[in-house]
A and B are shown apart, each in its own frame.
Chain A
């Protein structure tokens, strides 16, 4: 299979595996439609190989960050996105596992940026029909850092996290660090002046198929780990029903057949940014071209 010609997709770092799962035995996975093999060498370093353009095994660069192995098929101009809070000593790293989704990875990121679905998809957990209003918030392309941010987001949540004990108005800030990685900063139940951090590192296996690695950096040393993971997995499985049943399957960058409203401003900013970059992998426009 030929390597995608989409430079905007190639020249990115992608999270491809959980470091705790990588041993000497090679692990097969895919990235942007290509088979890749991940393993540890005799010295314990993580290696990643692709079949390469001419069929010869090609060693890919590897980074170990946030408990995961990252690689790229291109030449990224920037490092993996920085999450300074991840270095705070009292932060708890919680890996929620990988979820396979039969959808474009871009749709997963877009859905992660969406608050309006909380009352209907995560009913009585992240939202309730009694208060489904999306209050005005801001979304912008920050050109100095080349990221998309959504700020001043507020939503009423009956059960905002595992640690929450009742309904509350919750503050959100979203940050899209690369086309396939997104971070949420969310009101922390245990520390009023800090935010819980939930990251979604999407690994596009194919244009319409991906693995989503969910990682949290929490200020919560009391909730048991399985309960934290279970809570997030329930949320992602609820989202998957949506993601696999949106039409078209790939993300349209033109909204002609859709009706975005102000509540969708984060989605619009994200799509504008993808369009500016010329990214087509996983978009309906890319599918038209090929």
Chain B
């Protein structure tokens, strides 16, 4: 269990548009992340209680999600609101989809874990700063490997004033790796939110926070390139280690 009490980021906030649903894995379990038309995000078990169809294949209409298989409709609180095969029936409140706690923080959507209260960690470095999304990418390595390598990886900051002589650091906070650079009045933070997909696969959701300047465009591109380089290095290290063991 992590310091975050079972909270994990599952997407960048902009990665799930209003009126859409995404199916994904979290610790080997299938979840659906969907955003209603008003913009609120919801995280549920990816399974319709009727006949087990994955709800991520369903369609969002207004504040409801409907299962693709038989059109059963569920409201934001998980309760079933309509069963089209029986149009006269008002479904009881006891027919519900399994929901999970969720919150949006650091430009990411976070999923809670059943029975584990708490909140996702919000690092003090980012307080009062603007968070800019960068990208999400999948790495074919377990979360712990990704976290350790990311904290040790050379991730040069974007702001030109930080190119030389900046105080740089990296630390781990639960499912977050926080990479900082600071010099004088300029401070920049790269936030990597790690999502354990299953035993050997991790999604990395990257955002950056800074106290000066606009980091959309070139700043996003700078860290997106670094992230791809990181993935390439980490996955090839694992491959060559495996072939050495085999040899």
Contact = CB atoms under 8 A, between A and B. Distances in A.
| A–B contact at 8 Å CB threshold (below) | yes
Interface of A: 116-117, 119-121, 129, 132-134, 241-242, 245-248, 252, 257-264, 267
B149 interface: no
Contacts of B160: none
A104 B73 CA distance: 26
B52 A259 contact: no
Contacts of B95: 259
A264 B50 CA distance: 10
A241 B68 contact: yes
Interface string B82-95: 01111100000001
Contact of B54 (A117, A245, A252, A263): A245
11 contacts: A116-B85, A117-B69, A117-B70, A120-B70, A133-B87, A246-B69, A248-B52, A258-B50, A258-B52, A260-B51, A261-B50
A242 B85 contact: no
A258 B51 contact: yes
Given A120-B84, A121-B69, A241-B68, 13 more contacts: A116-B85, A117-B69, A132-B71, A132-B87, A133-B87, A245-B54, A245-B57, A246-B54, A247-B54, A257-B49, A257-B52, A259-B50, A260-B51
B71 A246 contact: no
B50 A133 contact: no
Contacts of A129: 71, 84
B30 interface: yes
- 4 smallest beta-carbon distances between A and B, as pairs: A132-B84, A263-B85, A116-B85, A134-B85
Nearest to B46: A247
B57 A116 contact: no
B51 A246 contact: yes
A242 B87 contact: no
B47 interface: yes
B53 interface: yes
B68 A120 contact: yes
Nearest to B55: A245
A262 B95 CA distance: 16
Interface string B59-73: 000000011111100
Given A120-B69, A121-B69, A241-B68, A133 B52 contact: no
Interface centre among A117, A134, A245 (most CB of B within 10 A): A245
Contacts of A116: 70, 84-85
A264 B83 CA distance: 12
A119 to B, nearest CB: 7
Contacts of B71: 119-120, 129, 132
A133 B57 CA distance: 22
A240 to B, nearest CB: 12
B52 A247 contact: yes
A267 B86 CA distance: 16
